[in-house]
Amino acid sequence: MSDITTDLIKVGDLNAYLARPSGGSTVAMLLLPMITGLGKQLRAYADDIAATGVTALAWDPWHGPTGDDHTHEQLRTLMDEGLNDEQALAEQRALLDHLFGELGQEKVGVIGWCLGGRYAFVLAGQDQRLANCVAYHPTVPAQPTEKQPEDAVALAEKITCPVTMIYPGADHLVPVETFKALQKALNKRDAAPSIVHVYPGAGHGFMEAHRQDNEINRAATKLSWPQTLTFINTTLS
């Protein structure tokens, strides 16, 4: 594992968390967080990725607030009142441009959790620069909404890079019908492989540190995260 350097940076007027191997790299992942934003949990994921030799740059959907200093209810209000696809995708593309431009990365993938898992599918379906796509329990609404009009299921079918999707069988936020629709869309692709992991009994957000007292979540984390890190490194090599 590589030594890493970390920093909170600005990309234009956007906040971002940057974790890099100390010796530098030419490959990177864009991290799209769950509702807790740039909190300590997402920073830990970024640090794990950087320790494998891959630069990690994380998006801040809330422009400051995180799960470290705000409740889920406060962050959900920010999501319901302020998050919209047009702005979110513009910010994510700005971070991609920064990775390919100022940071000099030659290959970049995307990984997201929960709401970030949905955006991973949407971004990868629209931007063929991406070298991989990883979506943990993507929270996809049954029907597009005014603020989230992009159809993640339809866009999943258009992704041209390798994809991994992780679904916990006891997910209370992502109905199994949504999972099956996403899986069907991925199965229609012939441009690149799809890997789908199902963890029966594991809950939504099973990898988060505060959920590790549950034996099933802990076992799912122990199995899924090393495989995800291997997938990232293999598709970026």
CA 156/CA 135 separation, integer angstroms: 11
One DSSP character per residue, 174-237 reads S-HHHHHHHHHHHHT--SS-EEEEEETTPPTTTTSGGGTTSHHHHHHHHHHHHHHHHHHHHHH-
The per-residue pLDDT for range 32-67, each reduced to its tens digit, is 999 888 999 999 999 999 999 999 999 999 988 777
**CATH number of 171's domain:** 3.40.50.1820
What's the pLDDT band for 76 if we cut at 50, 70, 90? confident
For the chain, state the CA radius of gyration.
16
Residue with tokens 């994380």: 58
Q: Is 157 exposed, middle or buried (0-12, 13-18, 19+ CB in 10 A)?
A: middle
The predicted model gives 177-198 an average pLDDT of: 96
Task: Give the E-state strand segments of 12-148 in sequence order.
Answer: 14-21, 27-32, 55-59, 107-113, 133-136
**What is the domain extent for residue 140?**
4-236
Q: Above 90 in pLDDT, residue 71?
A: no
How do the residues of the chain divide into helix, strand and coil, expressed in percent and rounded to 5? 40, 20, 40
The per-residue pLDDT for range 108-142, each reduced to its tens digit, is 999 999 999 999 999 999 999 999 999 999 999 87
Those residues with Cβ within 8 angstroms of residue 69's Cβ, 6 or more apart along the chain or in another chain: none
Pairing of strands 14-21, 55-59: antiparallel
Q: How many domains, in total, are found in the chain? A: 1
| Ramachandran angles phi, psi of 113, nearest 5° | -125, 135
